[in-house]
């Protein structure tokens, strides 16, 4: 199966699913921006950086969703395979950046590396609220990022982010099931 074999109904389904996922992600990010803006009274560059990560997340979701839907032609499976993809990528990045050079297991990443930027771009903006309540300390030295607590980093940057992305994906699936099921019923 290729994308060229896709009919109009399937293309509409793909488009509406990607737009629905984007709108859920945008809604949660706007809530996070509003909370952070109220607390810090600063929007400027913060909003621009968040917009770039929002568009990057949309691109990753769109590519993975289109690829999996084209291969499987299964609506729900295609939506949730995005979460499986992220689970594999996040854990690959986490494991690939583990080191024990200092005698203890640590995560080391260059702040300019693709893997650090990939994880950072997927962080939900609401997770920055945790920093004010329970900060995560670490070292930013000569372009290296080394969190003090490996497990706190794993929980915040991997588990919470995956949970957030799965929540957005699940909400997208719920919208699809409740409102678009009849319009996009694929055989």
Nearest 5°: the CA angle 120, 124, 130 is: 95
- The tens digit of pLDDT for each residue in 29-53 reads 888 777 766 666 555 566 666 778 8
Residues 40 and 111: their CA atoms lie apart, in Å, by: 24
- The tens digit of pLDDT for each residue in 17-27 reads 999 999 999 99
Residues 60 and 54: their CA atoms lie apart, in Å, by: 10
Residues 129 and 151: their CA atoms lie apart, in Å, by: 18
Please, where are the H alpha helices in the chain? 8-40, 44-72, 75-96, 114-122, 128-133, 150-153, 161-175
Length of the chain: 187
Domain ranges of the chain: 8-180
- The tens digit of pLDDT for each residue in 130-165 reads 666 777 788 888 888 889 889 989 998 899 999 999
């Amino acid at each position: 199966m290729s994308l060229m074999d896709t009919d109009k109904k399937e293309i509409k389904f793909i488009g509406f699913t990607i737009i629905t996922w984007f709108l859920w992600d945008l809604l949660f990010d706007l809530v996070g921006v509003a909370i952070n803006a109220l607390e810090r009274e600063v929007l400027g560059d913060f909003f621009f950086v968040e917009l770039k990560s929002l568009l990057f997340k949309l691109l990753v979701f769109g590519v993975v969703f289109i690829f999996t839907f084209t291969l499987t032609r299964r609506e729900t499976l295609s939506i949730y395979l995005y979460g499986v993809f992220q689970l594999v990528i996040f854990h690959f990045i986490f494991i690939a950046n583990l080191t024990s050079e200092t005698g203890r297991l640590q995560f080391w990443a260059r702040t300019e590396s693709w893997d650090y930027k990939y994880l950072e771009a997927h962080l939900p903006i609401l997770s920055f609220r945790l920093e004010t309540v329970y900060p995560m300390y670490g070292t930013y030295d000569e372009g290296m990022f080394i969190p003090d607590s490996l497990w706190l980093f794993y929980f915040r940057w991997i588990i919470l982010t995956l949970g957030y992305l799965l929540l957005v994906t699940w909400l997208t699936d719920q919208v699809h099931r409740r409102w678009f099921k009849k319009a996009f019923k694929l055989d």
